[in-house]
Amino acid sequence: MPCPDVFVQDVPVFVERMGLSFRDYLDSRLPAVIDADHCVRLNYEAFFFGNLWTREQFVSDPTLYCGYLTDPVSKNRFRPEESSPRFTHGKVTYYFEGEVQRKLFEANPDDFRLPGWKM
């Protein structure tokens, strides 16, 4: 059931309106809190947490926990490393397969949004 008035950058609002629920990304014993304070966005993915402690643990080294992400330029799935090029745009941190992709993204991030998504 699509929500045409909710854009993907409003992930917590979208998730709440869809009636979805999740477990904490790092501690599956905890239900995730569905709000902006408990959500971390990396590339096109969103991660939800049950408390601010697990969120901060994730944020301290997201590459340790995030698994595979989609490079917004090449659209390839890859596992970022601490040394991977990155760029923050619109409160979202983007990781890239290489410096070439980061530079292309940085020059014009809106060229790399998914159809129907706002960044």
Q: What is the pLDDT of residues 65-90, one digit of tens each?
A: 999 999 999 999 999 999 999 999 98
Q: What share of the chain in percent tops pLDDT 90?
A: 76
Give the pLDDT of residue 8: 53
Q: CA-CA distances (angstroms) from residue 87 to 27, 45, 48, 79?
A: 27, 15, 21, 16
Residue 1 lies in a domain: no
Global pTM value: 0.85
Residue 3 lies in a domain: no
CB environment 67-90: b (16+ within 10 A), e (fewer): eebbbbbeeeebebeeebbbbeee
Q: CA-CA distances (angstroms) from residue 20 to 6, 59, 81, 92?
A: 15, 23, 30, 22
User: Does the pLDDT value for residue 41 go beyond 80?
Assistant: yes
Measuring CA to CA, which residue among 36, 20, 107, 33 is closest to residue 72? 107
> Which H or E run includes 17?
helix 11-18
Instruction: Supply the DSSP symbol for 81.
Output: -
Residue 117 lies in a domain: no
Residue 79 lies in a domain: yes
When divided into structural domains, the chain yields a total of: 1
Residue 82 lies in a domain: yes
Domain that holds residue 49: 8-112
